[in-house]
Amino acid sequence: MSQTPVNPVPQHVAIIMDGNGRWAQERRLPRLAGHNAGAKAVERTLKAAQKAGVKVLTLYAFSTENWTRPQEEIAGLFKLLAQTLSRYTQQADKYGVRLLVSGEREPLPPAILNQIDHAVSSTAHNTRFTLNLALNYGARQEIVHAVNALLREDKKEITVQDISQHLYQPDLPDPELIIRTSGEERLSNFLLWQAAYSEFYFSPVLWPDFDEAEFERALAAYRVRRRRFGGV
Ligand code: IPE
Ligand code: IPE
Ligand code: MG
């Protein structure tokens, strides 16, 4: 019998933070109360990831499809985002965190874009940890963005490496582990290219209840996955 593998701690963990609405609904609260509670879970998870030795955390905060939600919810989400971004930018140096934002700029309002640019440029020198926020993010749009960049370079033929190098964050390693909360088991247009050999962990926990213990369970599950990469 072959031995149980022991994978090292993943360098890059990506999370589809899902279930805020259902968390609020269970408590007869407005959906925005769920998003507020979700922002607290982000803070817990960031600390847990740093403690565990993870180097990069990508968080799916707003998808290109989330614009179909009620205007009031979108406005609330962006207000919360502005508050969170401002707090993280202020604290980033203390924790050695570099902020990255991945997604399309259109149709984000100029105020948010300025805040994003400031957050990214003023934390660029930090090297201990990378927090990559997927915001107005869609994986199909990201691949199209890469192909268009290559067309502008007049490429006649492209390689796998060419596409990888023209994604939003060409310098980040692919995520070894992708977590989705709330019991849903789908990618919802997240990291289609980068997930080619990711391990998946689907957690029944709703995002606002996600904590260090559940993050540790995901890491423990990952640790013993047999990753074959097409080999034997
Ligand atoms: C995830 O929670 C947060 C965002 C998509 C912004 P949801 O808002 O999707 O929560 P559910 O899926 O309705 O419970
Ligand atoms: C995915 O969650 C997007 C984010 C977590 C930001 P959704 O709640 O939007 O996904 P679907 O609609 O259930 O697939
Ligand atoms: Mg959802």
Q: Which residues, including other chains, have CB under 8 Å from residue 189's CB and lie 6 or more apart?
A: 63, 64, 65, 137, 138, 139, 140
Atom 9, ligand 2: residue with shortest CA distance = 66
Asked whether the beta carbons of 64 and 138 are under 8 A apart, the reply is yes
Residue 1 predicted with pLDDT over 70: no
Cα–Cα dist 103/183, whole Å: 25
Residue 174 is a catalytic residue? no
Residue 76 assigned to a binding site:
no
- Judge whether 128 is annotated as a binding position: no
Distance 94 CA to ligand 2 centre (A): 32
Q: Is 169 in the pocket of ligand 2 (CB under 6 A)?
A: no
Predicted confidence band of residue 209 (pLDDT cuts 50, 70, 90): very high
Convert the pLDDT of each residue in 162-204 to its tens digit.
Answer: 999 999 999 999 999 999 999 999 999 999 999 999 999 999 9
21 lines ligand 1 (CB under 6 A): yes
With beta carbons less than 8 A apart as the criterion, state whether 83 and 115 touch: no
Which bound ligand lies closest to the C-alpha atom of 184? 2
The pLDDT value given to residue 161: 98
- What's the fold here for domain 12-139+177-223? Undecaprenyl pyrophosphate synthetase (3.40.1180)
The whole model's pTM is what? 0.98
Cα 199 to middle of ligand 2, angstroms: 19
pLDDT, tens digit, 9 for 90 and up, residues 212-229: 999 999 999 999 999 999
Instruction: Determine if the peptide bond prior to 107 is cis (ω within 30°).
Output: yes
**How much is the pLDDT for 3?**
84
Domain residue spans in the chain? 12-139+177-223
Mean pLDDT over each residue of the chain, to the nearest integer: 97
pLDDT value for 181: 99
211: annotated active-site residue:
no
The predicted pLDDT at position 102 comes to 98
Q: What is the mean pLDDT of residues 120-131?
A: 98
pLDDT > 70 fraction of the chain, expressed in percent and rounded: 99
